[in-house]
């Protein structure tokens, strides 16, 4: 592998490290700001897809929520 000048370069797009282009070092390579931005957008779009496909999985229905809450406090204990 040739690496002229022994400069670090982005493992994703090949961008060489410059004074005004810092690279984030990883275990086996580097990543530049542009690629971080792009990756962030991609990951964010995954999150939106996941949220859209199964948004209500852990939501309780109102009656289930009431039953759940009733388990934590018996309303009769505080009323006369």
**By CB under 5 A, residue 15 contacts Zn ion:** yes
Helix %, strand %, coil % of the chain (to 5): 50, 15, 40
Alpha helices in 1-80 (DSSP H): 33-53, 62-72
What are the structure tokens assigned to 2, written together? 């040739």
Q: Which is nearer to Zn ion, 39 or 44 (CB)?
A: 39
- Is residue 8 close enough to count as binding Zn ion by CB under 5 A? no
Comparison of 12 and 17: residue with beta carbon closer to Zn ion: 12
Which of 8, 12, 16, 17: binder of Zn ion (CB under 5 A)?
12
Residues contributing to the site for Zn ion (CB under 5 A) = 10, 12-13, 15, 32, 35
């Amino acid at each position: 592998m040739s690496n002229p000048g022994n400069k670090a370069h982005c493992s994703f797009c090949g961008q060489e490290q410059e004074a005004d282009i810092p690279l984030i070092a990883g275990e086996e390579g580097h990543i530049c700001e542009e690629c971080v931005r792009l990756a962030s957008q991609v990951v964010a779009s995954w999150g939106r897809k996941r949220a859209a496909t199964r948004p209500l999985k852990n939501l309780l229905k109102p009656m289930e929520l009431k039953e759940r809450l009733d388990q934590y406090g018996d309303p009769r204990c505080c009323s006369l």
